[in-house]
Amino acid sequence: MAQIMVLGAGLVGKTIVRDLAQRHTVTCVDISAAALNTLAHEKNVSIQQADVRNPGLLKRLVAPFDMVVGAVPGHMGYDVLKTVIESGKNVVDISFFPEDSLTLHQLAVEHNVTAIVDCGLAPGMSNVFAGYHHSVSPLLRYECLVGGLPVHPTEPFGYKAVFSPIDVIEEYTRPARLVEDGAVVIKDALSDVESVHFDSVGTLEAFNTDGLRTLADTLRGVPDMKEKTLRYPGHAALMKAFRTTGLFGKDPVDIQGTNVVPLQLTAKLLFKQWEMQPGDEDCTVMRVTLEDATSIITYSLYDRFDSQTNTTSMARTTGYACTAAVEMVLNKKYQTSGVTPPEHLGSASGCLDFMLDYLNERNVVYKKEVTKK
């Protein structure tokens, strides 16, 4: 039984805590007392209210623990991860931060730290699939279509936020990197909207977002790679209108002598519309297509809200991938020092099978299909 600290008590962070507490003792840290209080009576769980943006405080907090999990909002994720690495603690992180995590690789090597980053759904399992199959046979194409959606969409957004609204908005503003004909190209987020049919949910729209992350660097030999976000039809056009109007802007705007940051105001207002209410259920849809010289391999996922545990699908599909990686590090199944993107997990012996088995035990089931060319 290990001593684990989880940084962040959001929807995904809480799911990570509850899963790990089945086998370990866990302390969860968050600045929000309200978020922590939902974990106050969980078995094998302790709570600690603190601001982990303070490096000195964070180093003192993590000192007694065997391992750390990072599940904080993206805007603070890089600095928090850097501090944990400087503390010499192995860490698995799911924070979707804009900075390049590989810039911390040498720091992690110097501190003999195993730091697995982006270890959720996508980025996360999508990268694991890519890394595994590229190590078996060089890939010619990688495509990931993924989205977390309400089971019953309502107008005008057709969306519910199952993680930080500001992180969602960041996906709609950050330019998207794709690989076309072997070259990295930059496109606007929300561009190249196309309709895609899924038997589980019907027709959705897919649009460019910056989801390739480390794959654009680590799988440089793959000539075509892209990731698109899935939403119900019409969502992309609405978000483009918001962005064009300036409602996602980060620069303060003077409103009758008061400086207002449009993004902060928009996120606060949208959260009221996007927040899941009692009785709301979400689903997760993902299709990863991998093509090599002889085959087209597809991994498909359709997952639903777990009403028995009151756990969102996005928290399950993201959180359990993270806790699977935690178990691999604790069990010394993966021990490589440095920053490890999930595609490197996929190429490591036995890791893909371990993660799929772990997820299957929690009823997160990926369907694999192989078509010969």
Quick: pLDDT tens for 186-209.
Answer: 999 999 999 999 999 999 999 999
Q: Which pair of tokens denotes residue 36?
A: 């922590």
Give the C-alpha separation, 101 to 93, whole Å: 10
d(CA 86, CA 83): 5
Domain ranges of the chain: 3-122+313-365, 125-304
pLDDT tens track, the chain, 373 positions: 899 999 999 999 999 999 999 999 999 999 999 999 999 999 999 999 999 999 999 999 999 999 999 999 988 999 999 999 999 999 999 998 889 999 999 999 999 999 999 999 999 999 999 999 999 999 999 999 999 999 999 999 999 987 777 778 989 999 999 999 999 999 999 999 999 999 999 999 999 999 999 999 999 899 999 999 999 999 999 999 999 999 999 999 999 999 999 999 998 898 889 988 888 999 999 999 999 999 999 999 999 999 999 999 999 999 999 999 999 999 999 999 999 999 999 999 999 999 999 999 999 999 999 999 9
HEC letters along 213-271 = CCHHHHCCCCCEEEEEEEECCCHHHHHHHHHHHCCCCCCCEEECCEEECHHHHHHHHHH
Residue 159 token pair: 């969306």
CATH code of domain 3-122+313-365 = 3.40.50.720
Residue closest to 263 by CA, chosen among 141, 166, 365: 166
Token code pair at residue 246:
């300036």
CATH number of 125-304: 3.30.360.10
- Report the DSSP pairing between strands 183-187 and 176-180: antiparallel
How much of the chain exceeds pLDDT 90, in percent?
91
Q: Per the confidence metrics, is the pTM higher than 0.85?
A: yes
pLDDT in tens, 138-147: 999 999 999 9
